[in-house]
Amino acid sequence: MDVTGKMLEGAGIPAGLPQMLGEMGGRELQTALLEAYALRAGGLAVTDVLRQYETNEFTQPSELGQREVIRFEGFAAAAIPESFNLVELPPVTALGSNSVLSNVSQRTVMATSRNTEVVADGVTALSLEMAKRRRQESDGSEPSHLGTFHREMRTQQHVRSGFTTHFHALSLISAQKTTQPDEFKASTFAEHTATYLDIIDGASGQGYATAGVDVALSNIRVMGLLTKTLGSDKELLLKNTRTPGYDAFKELGIPLPSKILPEDLLTVIDSLPEELRVLARPLAFMGRQFAETVARVRVEHSGAQVYFDLSRHAGMGYYQDMAVKITATNREGRSYPLVDIGSNDWLAKLLNNKQERLVTGGMGTELFMKQFKTA
């Protein structure tokens, strides 16, 4: 019996019940769940409802006051280029938005009794909206940009201080139908990265401050090629995407530096050992794709440290290739990942058109407000 089967048995649930429910039609399942919850709610007393509210982590309000959230998001919205259409999303999205598009476990998402799920990731919800809009367009060759501020809900356990089950986040996505994807991605990554840095740096005038900002640029395919070439355990890597201090190169015995400055990339490529020459092309491609991003960061945000993170494995199965992570350190010396950006193939799949390109990203605005406030 597998782990899930043992859990069901321990809870007194018949082994075949989840499968039976999962195989029901949408309307039938909705009717069954609505009736079940109506029966459950009908047996609750007023004191039961209060007890649930007080003890359920998903029903607890944010530590932040709403006025502070509104002020910060107003400031951040003003820093976002006018080309982005900021959308007010509903609190739920289509069932499977995350597990089908991004391979995130459905068990980390809060499904509802009406065949929807609470928004767990603003970028997947925006991607569906982008697909809907682009299906209505006659051409689609011009870039399209959407964004949203949204409270997201995730059900996985958080052990690190500052992270909560629900939180405000900013999501930005850009799309274009083009046969020149490299040009689109190069300019889009530079624009998205600069926008988030504008918000982080500009927040100093809003009562927030950072002691340092790192911009890590990566090509997810580097680690994908390494696991394939060396026969490494990909699942082990994925299990350690959130493990503090985990160095994939060190664990796999890869004789390469995990992090390098952009000006050192060609030297690293030229000195690759024979067994790692397979990495030459994806590393060189990464350098070309991020040339504009490096230039803009160094000119517009000279205080930020920009480098290549060669060993990044977080995002495998979520991003296609290029990815950016922005991490900031507060005045207490604690570092937090604030921004993640990457290229996805979701739009190409949704619209059945390989020319549809997509770059998505998000910023933990609530995390920033909590951990970087100065007053």
**What pLDDT was estimated at residue 21?**
75
* Residue 218: band (very low, low, confident or very high) from pLDDT cuts 50, 70, 90: very high
Helix (H) / strand (E) element for 230: namely helix 220-230
Residue range 146-155: mean pLDDT, rounded: 94
Query: Any idea what the Cα angle at residue 220 is, between residues 217 and 224, rounded to 5°?
Result: 150
Residue range 29-48: mean pLDDT, rounded: 89
3-state secondary structure of 335: strand
Q: Which of 71-80, 173-182, 244-253 bottoms out in mean pLDDT, i.e. has the lowest?
A: 244-253
117 and 95 Cβ atoms separated by less than 8 Å:
yes
pLDDT surpasses 50 at 30? yes
Buried b (16+ CB within 10 A) or exposed e, 264-287: ebeebbeeeeeebeebeebbebbb
pLDDT surpasses 50 at 278? yes
Token pair for 348:
């190409």
Is residue 191 located within the same domain as residue 246?
yes
Is residue 22 located within the same domain as residue 151?
no
**What pLDDT was estimated at residue 284?**
97
Which among 147, 214, 219, 146 is positioned nearest to 182, based on CA atoms? 219
Cα–Cα distance between 360 and 188 in angstroms, integer?
10
101 sits in the region (left: phi over 0; alpha: psi -120 to 50; else beta) called alpha
**Four-point Cα dihedral 102, 106, 110, 115, nearest 10:** 90
Is residue 50 located within the same domain as residue 149?
no
Residue 48: domain span: 3-55
Can you name the residues that pair with 328 across neighbouring β-strands? 213, 336
CATH number, domain with residue 103: 3.30.930.10
Within 10 angstroms of residue 31's Cβ, the number of other Cβ atoms is 13
CA atoms within 13 A on the CB side of 308: 26
pLDDT surpasses 80 at 241? no
Task: Please name the amino acid found at residue 27.
Answer: R
Cα–Cα distance between 109 and 106 in angstroms, integer?
5
Q: pLDDT tens across 298-350, in order?
A: 999 999 999 999 999 888 889 999 999 999 999 999 999 999 999 999 999 99
**What pLDDT was estimated at residue 3?**
47
Say which residue, 125 or 242, is predicted with more confidence. Answer: 125
* Residue 9: band (very low, low, confident or very high) from pLDDT cuts 50, 70, 90: low
Residue range 278-291: mean pLDDT, rounded: 96
Can you name the residues that pair with 145 across neighbouring β-strands? 174
Is residue 19 located within the same domain as residue 99?
no
**What pLDDT was estimated at residue 59?**
93
pLDDT surpasses 80 at 235? no
pTM beyond cutoff 0.75: yes
Cα–Cα distance between 350 and 70 in angstroms, integer?
33
Is residue 45 located within the same domain as residue 169?
no
* Residue 136: band (very low, low, confident or very high) from pLDDT cuts 50, 70, 90: confident
pLDDT surpasses 80 at 201? yes
Is residue 284 located within the same domain as residue 176?
yes
Q: pLDDT tens across 155-171, in order?
A: 876 656 667 889 999 99
Number of domains in the chain: 2
Domain boundary among 38, 55, 72: 55
Q: pLDDT tens across 357-366, in order?
A: 999 999 999 9
Query: Any idea what the Cα angle at residue 349 is, between residues 173 and 326, rounded to 5°?
Result: 30
Is residue 272 located within the same domain as residue 361?
yes
Say which residue, 255 or 162, is predicted with more confidence. Answer: 255
| CA-to-CA dists, residue 254 to 224, 230, 247, angstroms | 13, 10, 10
Helix axes 280-289, 181-202, angle to 10 degrees: 60
pLDDT surpasses 80 at 24? no
Residue range 92-114: mean pLDDT, rounded: 89
For the chain, what is the mean pLDDT? 90
Is residue 103 located within the same domain as residue 7?
no
Domain boundary among 14, 39, 55: 55
**What pLDDT was estimated at residue 337?**
95
Is residue 177 located within the same domain as residue 308?
yes
Is residue 100 located within the same domain as residue 190?
yes
Q: Which of 80-94, 114-128, 161-175 bottoms out in mean pLDDT, i.e. has the lowest?
A: 161-175
Is residue 110 located within the same domain as residue 176?
yes
Is residue 51 located within the same domain as residue 69?
no
pLDDT surpasses 50 at 1? no
